[in-house]
Amino acid sequence: MTDFNWLLALFLAPLVGAVAVLLVPKGADKLAKQVGLVVSVVVFALTVAMSLQFVPAEAGDFQFSFAYDWIPAFGVQFAMGLDGIALVLVALSTSLVPVVLLAGWDDVGPESRGSVKGYVALILVLEAAMIGVFAATDVFLFYVFFEAMLIPVYFLIGRYGGARRSYAAVKFLLYSLFGGLLMLAALIGLYVVSGDLLGTGTFDFTQLVGLDIPESTQRWLFLGFFVAFAIKAPLVPFHTWLPDAAAESTPGTAVLLVGVLDKVGTFGMLRYCLELFPEASTWATPVVLVLAVVGIIYGALLAIGQSDLKRLIAYTSVSHFGFIALGIFAMTTRGQSGSTLYMVNHGFSTAALFLIAGFLISRRGSRVIDDFGGVQKVAPVLAGTFLVAGLSSLALPGLSSFVSEFLVLVGTFERYTWAGIIATIGIVLAALYILLMYQRTMTGEAPDEVREKVHDLRGREVLAIAPLLVVIIALGFYPKPVLDVVNPAVDRVMQSVGATDPAPQVGGPVAEGTQQ
């Protein structure tokens, strides 16, 4: 089994599954969902089996790598490999898909515009694209997946979403395509530049790292990539597609959209912007930091002001993506490890929030916060899980987001004191938006409509949410498995950028090392 191509198998499995789902006869909706669920669980099991063979000590290198010639004329390869950062993000994607399918079992039914098996197949295709985008080690391949992800999501929003689904879907598509176009231009530029410097042009990531690209060229190329990622992440002011898309899509789609898809933006910043264009990244750092800090505060304030449950959660994510970008561009190991961990933790906590809010909304038939109240009385388990998910979102110590948020803050603070201080104020606003939402929906007297329509979580829903909460709590107290694989990869990024951590004022441990 040593030469078994784990990564390729992992990438192909959901595609095969999607085809299988499409072959299910018309009308056999339940069978389609069951096949989809089984496939996603198998993919997750594959991920676990693969992760067990991952060598944490060498997490800075790409493991399970393979490369096939794809378009030899342009040096394009179908090349994949995982470093520590990519591994945890792939694991995040493959673990969320079964949860989403299980939680959204009844979100799509015969009354929907699209077919059920189409929905399941689209999600599996999306899963394959997500694995591909994180695993690609060829920049062109990355770009292909980056754009390919849009297709399933466009249909997921546009066919299965809420009332204003086509508006949201088109907005999402156009916004992302615009970013993708800039990235394509930069990509071609990168190819040409690599041709000038290396003799033959290449898209191979490992060859492109450390390329001595002239500074002005670097800046233009950086901007092309960065804007695409900033739209995808999204950073303020490119964020307005997110609330629309998240609010109009089904909860499951929203989870994959905000929980995983948007991470491609921040992942891209860390992997591609920083490592390919180190000087340009340093040059752009002040602007990015300002955008990130503004995003943290702005997103939080907007979340406080929302009257729509799903839009509120979407805006909290805008704030959180500010934190992630902040940590990445702080150029410290703390900040970048924290950001990577944040991507994972945010995936889980937002997933829980969106899914539970989805349960609540589908019961009550309204997304407006003021239509709720006193839910804790009629549905204590639902309220309890919602509170835990919310507390994770506000980064309560002991839950997973805290570790990452604190690392981001400390990593920022040690280099950019003021950015760190302002970002820290975000934690007060986070408490406000979560607890205000909880107070308005869950406490007080229950209106009649809530009393009649809202019932507590059922077995399937508990089964879907429980793993998320377990992970949230477990990673809060024991983030070691993730940190073990992330830290070496971050060290590599830091090396590529040529950044080092600031030294403490006095004393402290002298030995440099990431492992105990």
Partner 1 sequence: MSPFSGAVASVAEPSSAVSEASGVFGLTWLLIALPLLGAAVLLLGGRRTNPWGHWLGVLMAAGSFAVAVVLFAGMLGLGEEERSIRQFLFDWVFVGTFEAPVALRLDQLSMTFVLLITGVGTLIHIYSVGYMSHDPDRRRFFGYLNLFVASMLLLVLADNYLLLYVGWEGVGLASYLLIGFWYYKSSAAVAAKKAFVVNRVGDVGLSLAIMLMFVTFGSVTFEGVLDNAAAASDSSLTWIGLALLLGAAGKSAQFPLQSWLLDAMEGPTPVSALIHAATMVTAGVYLIVRSADIFNLSETARTAVIVIGGITLVMGAIIGSAKDDIKKALAGSTMSQIGYMILAAGLGTVGYVFAIFHLVMHGFFKADMFLGAGSVMHGMNDQVNMRRFGLLRTVMVTTWITFGIGWLAILGVPPFSGFFSKDKIIEAAFSVNAVAGWVTLLGAGITAFYMTRLFAMTFHGKKRWTDDVHPHESPWIMMGPVAVLALLSAVAGLALGPTGLFERWLEPVTGFTEPTPPVAPAVISIAALVLVLIGAGIAWVTYARNPVPEVAPAGNLLTRAARADLYGDAVNEAVFMRPGQYLTRWLVWFDNRVVDGAVNGTAATIGGLSGRLRRLQTGFTRSYALSMLGGAALVAAVLVLVRL
Residue closer to partner 1 (CB basis): 191 or 386:
386
Rounded least distance, CB 198 to partner 1, Å: 33
Rounded least distance, CB 309 to partner 1, Å: 15
Rounded least distance, CB 507 to partner 1, Å: 4
Residue closer to partner 1 (CB basis): 123 or 309:
309
C-alpha span between 472 and 392 (Å, rounded): 7
Rounded least distance, CB 350 to partner 1, Å: 20
Rounded least distance, CB 170 to partner 1, Å: 9
Of the candidates 395, 392, 424, the one whose C-alpha atom is nearest the C-alpha of residue 411 is 424
- In this structure, what DSSP letter does residue 25 have? P
Residue closer to partner 1 (CB basis): 175 or 323:
175
C-alpha span between 63 and 405 (Å, rounded): 28
- Cβ-Cβ contacts under 8 Å for 144 (sequence gap 6 or more): none
Rounded least distance, CB 239 to partner 1, Å: 8
Rounded least distance, CB 511 to partner 1, Å: 8
Residue closer to partner 1 (CB basis): 109 or 380:
380
Contact (CB, 8 A) for 341 and 403: yes
C-alpha span between 495 and 209 (Å, rounded): 11
Of the candidates 253, 223, 413, 438, the one whose C-alpha atom is nearest the C-alpha of residue 323 is 413
Tokens found for residue 265 = 């933006």
Residue closer to partner 1 (CB basis): 1 or 503:
503
With b for 16 or more beta-carbon neighbours within 10 A and e for fewer, the 206-237 pattern comes to eebbebebeeebbbebbbbbbbbbbbbbbbbe
Residue closer to partner 1 (CB basis): 220 or 478:
478
- Cβ-Cβ contacts under 8 Å for 245 (sequence gap 6 or more): 157, 168, 169, 171, 172, 254, 257, 314
Rounded least distance, CB 171 to partner 1, Å: 8
Residue closer to partner 1 (CB basis): 121 or 309:
309
Residue closer to partner 1 (CB basis): 17 or 158:
158
C-alpha span between 311 and 303 (Å, rounded): 8
Contact (CB, 8 A) for 427 and 405: yes
Rounded least distance, CB 161 to partner 1, Å: 18
With b for 16 or more beta-carbon neighbours within 10 A and e for fewer, the 331-358 pattern comes to bbbbbbbbbbbbbbbbbbbbbbbbbbbb
Residue closer to partner 1 (CB basis): 142 or 386:
386
